[in-house]
Chain A
Amino acid sequence: MNPTTLFAIPMTLFSGTMLTMLSSHWLLIWAGLEMNMLALIPILMKKTNPRSTEATTKYFLTQTTASMLLMMAILINMTSSGQWTITNMDNPSATSLATLALIMKLGLSPFHFWIPEVTQGIPLTSGMILLTWQKLAPISIMFQLAPLLNPYIILTSTALSILVGGWGGLNQTQLRKIMAYSSISHMGWTTAILMYSPSTMILNLSIYILLTLTTFSMLTIYANHTISSLALLWNKNPLIALAISLTLLSLGGLPPLTGFLPKWIIIQEMMKNNSIITPLFMTIAALLNLYFYMRLIYSTTLTMLPTTNNIKTKWRFESTKQTLLLPTLLILSTFLLPLAPITPILN
């Protein structure tokens, strides 16, 4: 691709999210979301084959529908209140529509069906950008709209997402689909405390992005797409095998790793607000997530596939793939739990 285009497309992606996050006018927020979607399309279609074309089309259709719903909410807000600021949305039909639109953008249940199919059809780095950067803009809108969004819709989709993310990932052997279902589940956890404490939502999102970036970076080194290719990782690079195991344990939310911190804070915040049964079921459903991460760890580090006795160790080549800041990401995604005492700043 032309180097100018190769620079302009990530620049548009970045400025789209920045526009959404920094605007107070609804029209510019919507324009930022559209720029995001448009700029991601050639990134999703980096490798031109029918699979990625289909994935890109599905992504485009669902995101456009969500943008149109959001535009409808904006126009209803405009006709009923006569102003375009984001923080004054009084009309209940406008807020319900906006809630539905943002849920579609994030890929929460029951609008989650596009995420596994789109993530599976695109290269690993594109999937990384799809599951991390694209969550920033809708979450920033939800953060600003937090007291106004319809709590029934939010809680329903939260509960459904955590369940769907857990059960959906159980039957998968392709790693990109597993990461997609993991994303659905984590987005469910993220929106769970939207009504009680939006700052905790930002904490959950940041740690989720950290963990997902780490996982995807390690998967791109040897282009692991399936569980069976992970099972051969111990021979190529035992250090990465160990690191993937630790990161997956952190994704599952086990102490003493970083992934435990957001779940702990979320459960604490929900219980402070007298909600006991919901976090109970959320935690039980998170065990489903942990099960398929454990299956990956089992194949990667805890077992060896049946081989002959004198198996040759592979030659350790230098990695040709660019892994950005992998040691930093690894340390951050496993050892951040001792920073838990700073969480009172979220209130």
Chain B
Amino acid sequence: MMYFTFLLSVIFVISFMGFSSKPSPIYGGVGLLVSGGVGCSIVVSLGGSFLGLMVFLVYLGGMMVVFGYTTAMAIEEYPEAWGSNVVVLGALLLGLTMELFVVLWMVCYDEVEVVISFKSMGYWVVFEGEGTGYFHGDSTGVAALYSYGCWLVVVAGWSLFMGVVIVIEVTRGG
């Protein structure tokens, strides 16, 4: 399973396409869910197990759940999915055809050079990441955040708090 990270990146991009094509918000939430989960898996496969699980828990388990519930309350009766719009379906099929084309080119010529040179699957194999060494990089980072980076915690906390306050003020119409 050497190409695991590459495969995950492909699914990442495809699910981004899935919600950027602006279906109904519930289906956009599905795209966010898949891309968030796959992004966490990429972080975990690069060695940052703690941070990947944090994002999974907080982002998917907290914010996506809240988003899903609020969208479900505000949804219309027949939401528009991806297959309903002919243009979106055509774009999806075209994207898949292009992917197939690139893979065939890769198999035949062993090198694809369009914008960046993509020589072999070896570039996607990770030999070292955050998990090597005596201390895991991600856990050390979190520890540093709460000790040396206390100002960053204050700034981030204040910004997030003000974000929520402002969203509520704007929605209230006050």
Contacts and interface: CB of A to CB of B under 8 A. Distances in A.
A232 interface: no
Contact of B162 (A1, A2, A28, A39): A39
Contacts of B170: 41-42, 45, 56
Number of contact residues on B: which range applies?
Answer: 10 to 19
B107 interface: no
Interface stretch (A4-12, A96-104, A306-314): A4-12
Interface in B117-158: 151-152, 155-156, 158
Contact of A5 (B151, B163, B165, B173): B165
Interface in A16-73: 19, 27-28, 31, 34-35, 38-39, 41-42, 45, 48, 56
Nearest to B165: A5
A42 B166 CA distance: 7
Given A1-B169, A1-B174, A45-B170, A8 B152 contact: no
Given A1-B174, A31-B159, A9 B152 contact: no
Contacts of B162: 8-9, 12, 35, 38-39
B163 to A, nearest CB: 6
Contacts, number: 41
A48 B169 CA distance: 11
B16 to A, nearest CB: 14
Contacts of A1: 169, 174
19 contacts: A2-B174, A8-B165, A9-B162, A9-B166, A12-B158, A12-B159, A28-B151, A31-B156, A35-B155, A35-B158, A35-B159, A38-B159, A38-B163, A38-B166, A39-B162, A39-B166, A42-B166, A42-B170, A56-B170
Given A9-B162, A42-B169, 18 more contacts: A1-B169, A5-B165, A8-B162, A8-B165, A9-B166, A12-B158, A15-B158, A28-B151, A31-B159, A35-B155, A35-B158, A35-B159, A38-B163, A39-B166, A41-B166, A41-B170, A42-B170, A56-B170
